[in-house]
Amino acid sequence: MGRITLDDSRAGLGSFPRDYAVVARDDTGDVLAVDEQGKVWCFAHGSGEWMSSRLLAFDTVALLHEHVAFQEQFELPPHEVELAALRARQQAIRQFMKGRRGAPYSRLDAEGALEDLRTEIEDKRFWASKKGQGLAACQALGRQCEKALRDAGASGEWMCRAARPDGSVLAVQGNFAAPWCTERVADLLAPLVGRRELKFVQVSRPPA
């Protein structure tokens, strides 16, 4: 399923059946066409045999046009959109789908959109929670610690990341070869991390 553009051109369709009137295409390249009873079918492109790929899309052309008028709502909003706007979009899709049993194309688009919105809403709720805020703060602190190690001339590769889902522990990964042993690293980072617990992870053994 994909965004539909109304288009009655038969250009490039080769042996497309003449008893179907082309009315649109979607952005995957599939063709939507109407039969003699007024039902709209979706024909998958590139299958080699048009009729074997035919699936019912809409019971009527009117349902197709309603879908096209609404389809922008199926797209996931930008990530910076507020939680309330995501929930409003979720509700709008559910309301639109009420009574649309004759629109399987819409149903599939709606199911995909609602799943994307559910994931996005859960993600925003997590980052707005105390645990999410703690994790975000710990990740930001990790970047500061990495910069502090680089600025101090600590050799090797260093990575500082949250070691727990709530950000209560910061893991410092590095070589810890002399002179940058764990004690010296801890002393350097102490003014930044305060009382936050540090966990040291040796990623490669120092040379003998």
pLDDT value, residue 154: 93
What whole-number distance in Å separates Cα of residue 3 and Cα of residue 25?
A: 8
Is residue 149 very low, low, confident or very high in pLDDT (cuts 50, 70, 90)? very high
Q: Tens digit of pLDDT for each residue in 160-176? A: 999 999 899 999 999 89
Cβ contacts of residue 103 below 8 Å, gap of 6+? 57, 58, 59, 63, 66, 67
Mean pLDDT for the chain? 91
pLDDT value, residue 48: 63
Q: Token pair for residue 67?
A: 């879908």
Residue 113: which of 73, 85, 78, 82 has the closest Cα? 73
H or E stretch including 171? strand 169-174
Q: Where are the domains of the chain?
A: 4-127, 131-202
pLDDT value, residue 207: 47
Evaluate if residue 10 carries a pLDDT over 80: yes
Q: Tens digit of pLDDT for each residue in 50-80? A: 888 889 999 999 999 999 999 999 998 887 7
pLDDT value, residue 49: 80
Q: How far is CA 62 from CA 25, 100, 163, in A?
A: 16, 11, 55
Residues 76-88 have a mean pLDDT of 87
pLDDT value, residue 1: 65
Residues 190-194 have a mean pLDDT of 94
Q: Look up the pTM and report it.
A: 0.74
Is residue 33 very low, low, confident or very high in pLDDT (cuts 50, 70, 90)? very high
Q: Tens digit of pLDDT for each residue in 93-133? A: 999 999 888 999 999 999 999 999 999 999 999 999 999 99
pLDDT value, residue 147: 96
pLDDT value, residue 21: 95
Fold for the domain defined by 131-202: Alpha-Beta Plaits (3.30.70)
What whole-number distance in Å separates Cα of residue 182 and Cα of residue 35?
A: 74
